Structure 1
Amino acid sequence: MTPLKIAVLVGSTRDGRFAPVVTSWLTRHIDGRDDMTVDVIDLVKTPLPVVFPDFGAPPQPGTEELLAAVSPRLAAADAFVIVTPEYNHSFPASLKNAIDWHGVEWHGKPVGFVSYGGISGGLRAVEALRLVLAELNAMTIRETVSFAGVWQRFDGEGACVDEAADGAAVAMLDQLAWWGLALRDARAVRPFGKALEEVA
């Protein structure tokens, strides 16, 4: 079986962010599996434009070069995991911007979540993301990983000290693998856009 290509989208771009610690922990889990490979898309390392062109107008100079560092990688992915903190009961603007620059890249693919923060553990950000991704014809999976009080969940070396989180990661990735394989097979038989045309 060809391993699933998992794109991990790191949504936080703020100074002093904790996202790299959480992402490194997640990628270690993915690297330990033989049914997945991982591509980390960090929005600090691959920033995207923040000004959208008018409908039908050409993009601003430099836009295509910035998108070229991200868009093909999203298109190549069989499934996604979004790593996100919670800002004001939702997710970062940088993450919404990255989602909005893309459309077909999300179609007919599963999305898992790893969220973190204070008391809520980022769960309200995940719930908001589910609504957005449903509009883009992505399939968000039920199992999630949530780090409440994230700063106490990792030691100074970046190792997770919460055994329950490791179990949650396995459950989330197992479910992502099931949906990833099922939807990859489905897209191979009938591309997503073609399926919609036949229904219409």
Structure 2
Amino acid sequence: MKLNVILTSTRPGRNGKPVADWFTDFARQNPAGFDIEFTDLAEVALPIIDEPNHPKAKKYQHEHTKKWSAIVDSSDAFVFVLPEYNYTMPPAFVNAVDYLYSEWNYKPAGFVSYGGVSGGLRSVQTAKTLLTTLNVMPINEQVTIPMVFNHLADGKFTAEKVHEDSAKLMIGELARWASALAVLR
């Protein structure tokens, strides 16, 4: 099974890259049966949706969409490294999700959220609503990082025990859900 860690912030100077690097390394050390892949939406570089056909048709015209489709389709589970922008999810995340339909279906998703005092929790709540419309199963277990800037130094994120414990629990739950949902895919 493949767990795809997707960094959703594309903003220059983003705090998410060190957080995503930490989580990806942690997941590779605690894979729970997964092969771990990392995807950075800044590198995927999807323009605002430019496909003429509805994503359900899978009649993609653009190479960037075909590449994105292959990334999502080959994944069995996702962890979205998700900041909070104005009490909601970042627009690059929404755009990336909206590009596709069936590639997302019947796969579980977890979250590593970060931000100020709320730790990105409001962003996760809105993301769950979006994902469930695509038959993605957002799990309850997640890693929440409030006051993320207190954990960043020299371009590195330093996790506390609570982050590591939460990450390990989430990865295990994602493995259970990915196995159970495989029969539906």
TM-score (norm 1): 0.84
List aligned pairs for 1:83-102, cutoff 5 A.
83-102=81-100
Question: Which residue in the other structure is 2:102 paired with?
Answer: 104
Is structure 2 residue 3 aligned with structure 1 residue 6?
A: yes
List aligned pairs for 1:63-142, cutoff 5 A.
64-142=62-140
SS of 1:172 mapped into structure 2: helix
Is structure 2 residue 29 aligned with structure 1 residue 37?
A: no
**1:154–1:161: 8 Å Cα contact kept in structure 2?**
no
Question: Which residue in the other structure is 1:171 paired with?
Answer: 169
**1:49–1:63: 8 Å Cα contact kept in structure 2?**
no
Name the CA distance, whole Å, in 2 between partners of 1:181 and 1:40: 20
Matched pairs, number: 179
List aligned pairs for 1:183-198, cutoff 5 A.
183-184=181-182, 186-187=183-184, 191=185
**2:49–2:99: 8 Å Cα contact kept in structure 1?**
no
Is structure 2 residue 24 aligned with structure 1 residue 27?
A: yes
Name the CA distance, whole Å, in 1 between partners of 2:100 and 2:167: 27
Q: Against the structure 1 CA distance between its residues 151 and 159, is the aligned structure 2 distance closer, same or farther, given a 3 Å change threshold? A: same
Deviation (angstroms), 1:51? 3.8
**1:155–1:161: 8 Å Cα contact kept in structure 2?**
no
Name the CA distance, whole Å, in 1 between partners of 2:180 and 2:159: 33
TM-score (norm 2): 0.90
SS of 1:114 mapped into structure 2: strand
Name which of structure 1's ranges 173-182 and 114-123 shifts more when overlaid on structure 2.
173-182
Name the CA distance, whole Å, in 1 between partners of 2:34 and 2:53: 38
Name the amino acid aligned to 2:18. V
Question: Which residue in the other structure is 1:195 paired with?
Answer: none
Q: Against the structure 1 CA distance between its residues 36 and 51, is the aligned structure 2 distance closer, same or farther, given a 3 Å change threshold? A: closer
Name the CA distance, whole Å, in 2 between partners of 1:161 and 1:51: 35
Question: Which residue in the other structure is 2:57 paired with?
Answer: none
Name the amino acid aligned to 1:14. R
List aligned pairs for 1:148-163, cutoff 5 A.
148-156=146-154, 158-163=156-161
Question: Which residue in the other structure is 1:59 paired with?
Answer: none
Name the CA distance, whole Å, in 2 between partners of 1:65 and 1:12: 22
Residue segments in structure 1 that go unaligned for 5+ positions in a row: 57-61, 192-200
Residue segments in structure 2 that go unaligned for 5+ positions in a row: 55-59
Larger Rg: 1
Name the CA distance, whole Å, in 2 between partners of 1:15 and 1:78: 29
Deviations 1:124-144 (A, max 9, x none): 000001100111111000001
Name the CA distance, whole Å, in 1 between partners of 2:51 and 2:69: 17
